[in-house]
Structure 1
């Protein structure tokens, strides 16, 4: 009986904790190759201008123009509060989180923009569209190189799902790591909207 309780608690921890980004070497079974500093590109992460404007591309070919500023982001979405959910298709907690995101779109769609941002995942657009169908996404899903740039503007992301909310003026409001219950997100939206 104690074993079953311990096993249930352990499983609950993994679901609530979220998913860590996959180690690239474990994803590829090839050994790590090191380079000398003379082969590093001229524009490294340290030299990247994260205040430059960028555009997220969605699976429906629409785009969202953004630019980092001192309070958060300038987000060209008609002055809506924006929830960004960083995810990967292989992350079980991210797939579970999609249900709560769908509910938020249903409740607050006229005031809230929900955008899922694909990271740490190398899948084709067709595979991403299949995932979109699987989770019955009512939210937008961004893919492409701009997602990596966006992640860099935030200083990187070590755990997914990662949710970050910006108010209608693009000012940072809240962030959450791991699987977040729908009730908590609804309470947060009631405070912000």
Structure 2
């Protein structure tokens, strides 16, 4: 009889430990309250992304900022930027791979570049995602741009999840994208 009680207590203890270890992904997740959206707009993680509308090289107008159906990846770049050249193939690959869950925009900061050079860059790297022209540098300024590339990951709610100055290895960048779209 005593032996059965010890076995029963052991089983209950194991179940309790298993539930505690899985609380983040299991039952507790059902009761978890969503964090309220920020009310402040700014160029850093945790704030609402500053909005902008820019014309693309394809003639269409694109917007960032505010809630969207998909997460948004904004890459501010210039054609003379060596890290931008290095990163371009990875961005093309990731844009194609996650097109159903992520809108990727390449924003050429035109005051720091030449339009003909930007067009040559897009052609050379065969970029397939929308390339926007920040002709007066206002969008770049809203994100306190200080380096090329500056990449901004924005979730579906319009909240900046990360601002990345410079480039990352493709696998690390992909991991960050997956974190934002999931």
Looking at secondary structure, tell me which structure has more strand per residue: 1
Aligned to 1:158, what secondary structure does the other structure show? Answer: coil
Paired residues, what number? 132
CA distance in 2, matches of 1:186, 1:52: 23
Residue 55 in structure 1 maps to residue 53 in structure 2: yes
Listed as ranges, the gaps of 5+ residues in structure 2 are: 1-48
**What is the TM-score with the length of structure 1 in the denominator?**
0.62
Match of 1:149 among 138, 143, 156: 138
By how many angstroms is 1:109 displaced?
0.6
Deviations 1:120-158 (A, max 9, x none): 53312x442221110110221111436x1112222x211
**2:25 paired residue number:** none
Deviations 1:59-94 (A, max 9, x none): 00111134xxxxxx226xx52111111111001110
Aligned to 1:74, what secondary structure does the other structure show? Answer: coil
Listed as ranges, the gaps of 5+ residues in structure 1 are: 1-50, 67-72
**2:167 paired residue number:** 179
**1:161 paired residue number:** 149
Closer, same or farther: CA 110–52 of 1 in aligned 2, 3 Å: closer
**1:85 paired residue number:** 75
